[in-house]
Amino acid sequence: MLQIKTAKRLDSIQEYYFSQKLREIAQLRAAGKDVLNLGIGSPDLPPSQETIEELSKYSNIGSNHGYQSYQGIPDLRQAFAEWYKTWFDVNLDANNEILPLIGSKEGIVHICMTYLDEGDVALVPNPGYPTYRAAVTLAGAQPIDYELTETNNWLPDLNALAKQDLSQVKMIWVNYPHMPTGTQAPKSFFSELVAFAKQHHILICNDNPYAFILNDQPTSLLAAEGAKDVALELNSLSKSHNMAGWRVGMLAGTKDFIQDVIRFKSNMDSGMFKPLQLAAVKALQSSSNWYKSLNAIYRERREKVFELLDLLECTYSTEQVGLFVWAKVPNYYKNGYELSNEILYKVNVFITPGGIFGSQGDGYVRVSLCSESEVFKEAIRRIETAKPQNVKSKTAKVL
């Protein structure tokens, strides 16, 4: 077989953790193990019925199946603009300040490839979404962690960062509400971050897909005064509207920033399927009652996750927002990997080890809310059944 050496850009890139883990879970299931997957944040609920009907209606029109604009149809850009005004109190020019994306994960790569060169540095959160680091690396730049800690409520210490050599730093990735910790950043932090970026001539990239999940006050970095001068914001319908497989995202920023990204994006993909864009318009017009009904389901599930984590003797904040619960493992486990592996191989329940999000997550685990309450009840039953009755807290492993 012909052997072809991969490009150097892949030398520091590994297969995505969940890609590997899903394959292992599939193998366990094939071997007869009934594995409950509580790890991955892929919504199990459908979009609104109106959204689905809109896709079906426009798919039956033959002229809708051709290539579409690289900048998305005007209706979708306008819907995104109205969504941002209604929920975030942010004014965006639908013609120039919004770029629909085939998923916001792809947008992370677009931004890095647009602005980063070899020798540039991008600051990435630890713990944080692994794709930030991977995209920076693929662009040929150097990702450098800024550490987030529970004691600082998982917010970056901007004063400490300002004392470092930032001369090569071109970009900082932030993500609030934060994944995996569920932290909601206060508006005062966004103002401080904008001032920091202006002082050090750094582009802020905020990834904002979790604003509507278990959160009564959706916020946007772009609402901070002067943010548009130094920031781009990504958003997505994947979590907020149960449309992860639809691949609908957006990028918001000034006209100049958007035009920069289009130069790269237009060479990488084409426009989205028009009926899908029209259905996304319908989704963005969802009422507050739709969001409330969705969050009522997640709130009920979260209570079961709290119960499960109590059984595992983990500790957590009940103030978290977003699609997951982040929890600290008991100190008799070396790290979250050890706890995750123990319950996977002993009771066939998978939860995510926090270490996949960076070294600052080593002592934690993350549980997804994307399963029916009955699944969480079954996971609890299995752990209760396997847990020795004479185990005393902090003296021995849970199982």
Domain boundaries, the chain: 8-46+289-386, 49-284
User: Is 397 in contact with 345 (CB distance < 8 Å)?
Assistant: no
Same CATH fold, 49-284 and 8-46+289-386?
Answer: no
pTM value > 0.85: yes
Neighbours of 147 (CB within 10 A): 14
What is the C-alpha separation between 208 and 194, in angstroms, rounded?
Answer: 16
Parallel, antiparallel, or unpaired: how do β-strands 98-101 and 121-126 relate? unpaired
Helix, strand, coil: what percent of the chain each, to 5?
Answer: 45, 15, 40
Structure confidence at residue 41 (pLDDT): 85
Contact between residue 178 and residue 123 where contact means Cβ atoms under 8 Å apart: no
Q: Which residue has the tokens 């004392």?
A: 163
Are the C-beta atoms of residues 320 and 177 closer than 8 Å to each other? no
Contact (Cβ atoms closer than 8 angstroms) between residue 33 and residue 348 = yes
Distance, in Å, from the CA atom of 125 to the CA atom of 148, rounded to the nearest integer, reads 7
Coil/strand/helix, residue 232: strand
What CA–CA distance (Å, rounded) separates 165 from 88?
34
Residue 280: count of CB within 10 angstroms of its CB: 29
Q: What's 258-269 look like in SS3?
A: HHHHHHHHCCCC
Q: Which residues of 346-375 are buried (b: 16+ CB within 10 A; e: fewer)?
A: ebbbbbbbbbbbbebbbbbbbbbbbbeeeb
| Interior/surface letters 6-42, b for 16+ CB within 10 angstroms, e for the rest | eeeeeeeeeeeebeebeeebeebeeeeeebbbbbbbe
Whether residue 330 has a cis bond before it, omega within 30° of 0: no
Q: How far apart are CA 21 and CA 26, in angstroms?
A: 8
Does domain 8-46+289-386 correspond to CATH entry 3.90.1150.10? yes
Whose CA is closest to 36, among 374, 397, 394? 374
Q: C-alpha angle with apex 30: 29 to 34, nearest 5 degrees?
A: 25
Sheet (strand 203-207) strand order: 98-101, 249-252, 231-236, 203-207, 169-174, 121-126, 142-147
Per-residue confidence in pLDDT tens, the chain, 399 aa = 888 887 888 777 777 676 777 788 888 888 888 889 998 889 999 999 999 999 999 999 999 999 898 899 999 999 999 999 999 999 999 999 999 999 999 999 999 999 999 999 999 999 999 999 999 999 999 999 999 999 999 999 999 999 999 999 999 999 999 999 999 999 999 999 999 999 999 999 999 999 999 998 899 999 999 999 999 999 999 999 999 999 999 999 999 999 999 999 999 988 899 999 999 999 999 999 999 999 999 999 999 999 999 999 999 999 999 999 999 999 999 999 999 999 999 999 999 999 999 999 999 999 999 999 999 999 999 999 987 654 444 445 656
Q: What is the bridge-based pairing of β-strands 169-174 and 364-368? A: unpaired
* C-alpha radius of gyration, the chain, whole number: 22
Distance from C-alpha of 336 to C-alpha of 53, rounded to nearest angstrom: 43
Q: What is the pLDDT of residue 228?
A: 96
Quote the longest CA-to-CA distance of the chain: 68
Name residues whose C-beta falls within 8 Å of residue 85's C-beta, 6 or more positions apart in sequence. 91, 92
CA-based nearest residue to 9, from 140, 102, 127, 97 = 140
Domain 49-284 bears CATH identifier 3.30.465.10: no
